[in-house]
Amino acid sequence: MKKLELLKKWFENHKGTVTAFSGGVDSSLVLYVSNLVQGENGIGLISNSESLKSKDFEVALIFCRTHNIKLEVIKTEELKDANYTSNPANRCFFCKNHLYGAMVDIIQDRYPKYTILNGTNLDDLGDYRPGLQAAEKYGIRSPLAELQISKKEVIEMAAELGLETASKPPSPCLSSRIPYGTPVSNTKLRQIEQAEYILNDFGFDRVRVRHRGDEASVEVPSDEIPSLESQFEEISQEIKELGFLKVKLDTEGFVSGKLNRVLNE
């Protein structure tokens, strides 16, 4: 049986589900299929927190409107939690702890006996993801991982279903651009967000801006570095206007999770 059919069958055994939705391809596939199988009992929930890009929030809203999916919107307060803002190596645990805790409260009150889901896929289990511990703490289910569906298969399924998120570049939490041990603040998150939007405006879709104090370190895919170099003076000036004193071009190119390397060291 094709994995997409297995995923559909997975939902038949649940009264209703609430998917932690980020607007990314993984959670959008889970949410879409839940709604496909369960109808109005397959709903989504998103936290419009400071660590989520405003464009990603808009993508999530449009996705649910387009596919007639009910979406609950909350606002978690992780920036009020010193465990989170001190930016330890397990920062993601505290973020997800706020999210899943809020979801459990909502589900118990308004959607009793519904199952809470996330978009964790098989490949995520081999990566450093402290948020998985929070999911385990609250009993969050991960249908993609449970069915051993990889990231590649997620994208293929999303494309087969015609989901617009199939081609959406990964867009993890903005705090992931700040080195561990360096405090997270709303000011830094907004600087990162706006700097990445500047790069988008210059034609670069897959980008990261690492916040290194007074310096912004810019990453694009290695094959796009020549194009970035040709426009770097203008781009650098616009990014400096956000409050950075220096802008550095990372010549290694875009690497997802680059700041996690220090954990191996």
- Decide: residue 203, CB within 10 A, 0-12 exposed, 13-18 middle, 19+ buried: exposed
Which of 156, 157, 193, 155 lies closest to 177 in space, CA to CA?
193
- Sequence-distant (≥ 6) Cβ neighbours of residue 102 within 8 angstroms: 47, 74, 76
Distance, in Å, from the CA atom of 35 to the CA atom of 121, rounded to the nearest integer, reads 19
Amino acid at 168: K
| Alpha helices for 119-243 (secondary structure H) | 131-138, 143-146, 151-160, 186-201, 225-240
Beta bridge partners of 19: 44, 117
Instruction: Single out the residue of 182, 96, 89, 170 nearest to residue 128, CA to CA.
Output: 89
What is the CA 199 to chain-centroid distance, rounded? 19
Instruction: Compute the C-alpha angle 182/51/127, nearest 5°.
Output: 75
Annotated catalytic residue 173: yes
Bridge partners (DSSP) of residue 249 are: 218
In the three-class reduction of DSSP (H, G, I as helix; E, B as strand; rest coil), residue 73 is classed as strand
Q: Which residues are catalytically annotated?
A: 173
